[in-house]
Amino acid sequence: MAACRSPWRRSTRWVDARDSLTVARGGTDNDTGSSWGPPPHLEALSSGHRKGSRALRRSLRTGLTLAIPLAALIALGTPARGAWMIPPAPYWPKDFSLVKKDGVYHLFYIRRNVNLPAAETENDFGHAESYDLVHWTQRPPVLATRDSSWDNAHVWAPSVVLRDSVYWMFYCGVTGQSGFYNSYQRIGVATSTDLENWNRLDAPVFSCDQVPWAFCDSLNALTGFRDPFVMPDPGTPGNWLMYYTANADSDSTNMVVGVASSSGDFTQWSDVKPLWDTYRATSGSGVAESPHLFLHDGLWYRFTTANGTQPIAFATSPDPLADPSGWTPRGRLGDMLGYYTGSWFASEHLQDGLVEYFAWVNGDRIEMYRMAWSDTARFSLVQPDLFHVTDLRWEADTVRAGHDVNLRFAAVNWFNRMAPIETRLLDSLGEATAVAPESLGLPSLVPIYSDTTRWTWTARLWPPGSSGPMRLAVRLPDQTASTPRAIIVLPDTLSAPPDSFRVTRLFWSADTVRRGDTAYLGIVARHGVGRSIALAAFTADSLGSLTSVPLDSLGLPAQVTLTGDTTSVTWASRTWPDSVAPHPVTRVVVANESLATAPPLTVLPEILRPRQPRPVPIPPRPPSDDDGLILKAASTMRAGGEVAFLVGLPEPMDVRLELFDIQGRRVSLLAERRLARGATVIAWDGRRSDGSAAGAGVYFARLTTPNSMRIARTVLLP
């Protein structure tokens, strides 16, 4: 499990002249432990590392001897810089899971302490979060090894999925116990409702002794059973699939990707089959680790980490459970990209709305790029956009037509940016009909001028003349942010008559701009579409005194025709007098007959360019309107099996979980104790309190706490 450090010094600097960001090669942001990266072909001297895989380590060492000439041959094909997450020293990352929750990206990753022997590290998961994939905040590690449990030696390869508002983390736990277990690998699960507090099952949920084709010897360290990747089964709604790495019983030195299935009870998994096209006889690689799949344009892509000088391999199929003949091998990722990827391993994919990210481990960091597709099985890796809308919501649940309401945008790295929006009308079944924003009096591009931007909308019904209520949802075209609830627009019998026109607000899209930058003047008006208003311009001194300025000298219009409830005027900002050198700092105020912009817009000369605002720190999670109590159960189970009840608590508390039959008779007391905050899984073995088997039928679980109660239903099949 050794890995070579890159010989590149941390003092080497790279400057991106395009956006004036200076980043450190192999270094970190001063506050957040994150960075932009140079083209990955320069990573050729930083060796990858994998869990206990001698074959892969040998191939990477071989690759290192070829790295410099190979990089020189293909240096012309390089992607844009990517985003990095670099753990604090002395930790390097390995296999990881990338998820997004409430506008925040979360990374869970193996933490390898490079100053310790392999046997003494990789004993918890690092947790980092970010609004933009570039600036990362390290959170407390999660799921540390437990000395007296089955995962006492290591925890590896987290895979996080969301189901019914609960996050499930599948992981490989490694057991070390002299005379009984020698680095014995099994798969377990933990649950969380907030990604901070995790509660895990006391026993593994899947192991090699449940797989007839897998090599399984608890005293043989070659027994591999790890790297779970879990996803919904596209062929059977409600079922889930787990892809994982194992060793073949017929050839214990080579790896195969296996598949298991669950009917929805995540404590119960059964073997489906091995994917023999990942076996050495077909793939040419004795290593098949870190499997993951994703769907793009009707085709399933399966990535694994193999051995060789370009370790990441992939194949495609219209069916994620296809036999070997149904998979089309696509070779190595580096060959498709056209540059050296010899130090990359443990890749992952994230679907964020319509945006796709591809990520991998490279030495001391996790690198993330946006995928730009060009053809079937062909894509390039491009630099992620720094600008992110992290939250989009209406500031009211209902509004009457003719009344004002705010649409709120929370954003990071927003300087001189605009957010495009789509508007959709929802019917009673939730089906959406697209409507042009302009037809509702909303702009299709909203200027973002601070961490929180509020766009005032005078509500109107559509089509014009409608007499019934309307449900309106808003989202970004790339679907990375959307209003969690549609606003309900109600008819207003007391609406103002058509001739009650008035301007209600004038505002600038930013507080400060640089001369020549684009600024936006917003004009909010009621019943003003098609009307024209006259403007006046002033400059303000440091004491607030105003001096009238000719509009044409600033390049501002004297008359503006209103196009909606909010009209945006684009202005190429100038200082005044603009002919004076050097250009002075100018504070511009625009007014009509009754209102003026407040505060003024400060225009700086070019030499005083305002600094790009840094992303705001991760805020505390807002409290929920609900009490946070959750009780869920698998809908059906077979006699002789187990059913898992998931209990979610907003804080530690005493609970009682009881099971009743359809006649109201108590069948079993499943738990009566204090549970931790977050999600806890409690199993029922299908037996009554006296130990006898419960009959087939409908059963109800009742969760009781000091302040509340929940009921969940399950069915026991014959």
DSSP secondary structure of 533-600: EE-EEEEE-TT--EEEE-HHHHT--SEEE--SSEEEEEEE---SSTTSSSPPPEEEEEE-SS-B-SSP
* From 490-494, 601-605, 693-697, the region with the lowest mean pLDDT: 490-494
Three-state SS letters, 419-485: EECEEEEECCCCCEEEECHHHHCCCCEEEECCCEEEEEEECCCCCCCCCCCEEEEEECCCCCCECCC
Residue 68 DSSP class: H
pLDDT value for 78:
52
DSSP string over 669-698? EEEEEEE-SEEEEEEE-SB-TTSPBPPSEE
d(CA 147, CA 124): 12
- pLDDT grade, residue 439 (50/70/90)? very high
Q: Confidence class of residue 542 from pLDDT cuts 50, 70 and 90? A: low
120-149 pLDDT tens trace: 999 999 999 999 999 999 999 999 999 999
- Distance between CA 129 and CA 623 in Å, rounded? 19
Structure tokens at 403: 């009344």
pLDDT tens across 74-127, in order? 344 455 578 999 999 999 999 999 999 999 999 999 999 999 999 999 999 999
Mean pLDDT of 419-426: 96
More confidently predicted of 528 and 441? 441
Q: For the residues 461-488, what does the mean pLDDT come to?
A: 93
57-89 per-position pLDDT tens digit = 334 334 444 444 444 433 444 555 789 999 999
Q: What is the mean pLDDT of residues 544-551?
A: 82
Of 225-234, 533-542, 600-609, give the range with the top mean pLDDT.
225-234
Q: How confident is the model at residue 443 (pLDDT cuts 50, 70, 90)?
A: very high
Is residue 470 within 8 A of residue 462, CB to CB? The reply is yes
Structure confidence by residue, pLDDT tens digits, 304-314: 999 999 999 99
Neighbours of 662 (CB within 10 A): 10
Residue 17 confidence class, pLDDT cut points 50, 70, 90: very low
pTM for this prediction? 0.72
- β-pair type (709-717, 636-638): parallel
- Which tens digit of pLDDT belongs to each residue from 252-265? 999 999 999 999 99
- Write down the pLDDT at residue 163: 92
The pLDDT tens digits for 264-288 are 999 999 999 999 999 999 999 999 9
Q: Which of the pair, 596 or 448, is modelled with greater confidence?
A: 448
Q: What is the 3-state secondary structure (H, E, C) of 242-288?
A: EEEEEEECCEEEEEEEEEEEECCCCCCCEEEEEEHHHCHHHHCCCCC
Q: Report which of residues 244 and 692 the model is more confident about.
A: 244
- Among the ranges given (94-98, 154-158, 170-174, 617-621), the one the predictor scored with the smallest mean pLDDT: 617-621
- Whether 448 and 411 have beta carbons less than 8 Å apart is answered as yes
Mean pLDDT of the chain: 84
Q: What is the model's pLDDT at position 559?
A: 92
Radius of gyration of the chain (CA): 30
- Rounded Cα distance between 32 and 26, Å, is 14
Q: How far is it, in rounded angstroms, from Cα 397 to Cα 31?
A: 38
Looking at per-residue pLDDT, the higher value among 349 and 636 belongs to 349
Beta bridge partners of residue 673, listed in sequence order: 655
The predicted structure's pLDDT at residue 270? 96
**Euclidean distance between CA atoms 117 and 120, whole angstroms:** 6
Q: Give yes or no for residue 495 having a pLDDT over 60.
A: no
Query: ∠24-28-34 over CA atoms, to 5°?
Result: 115
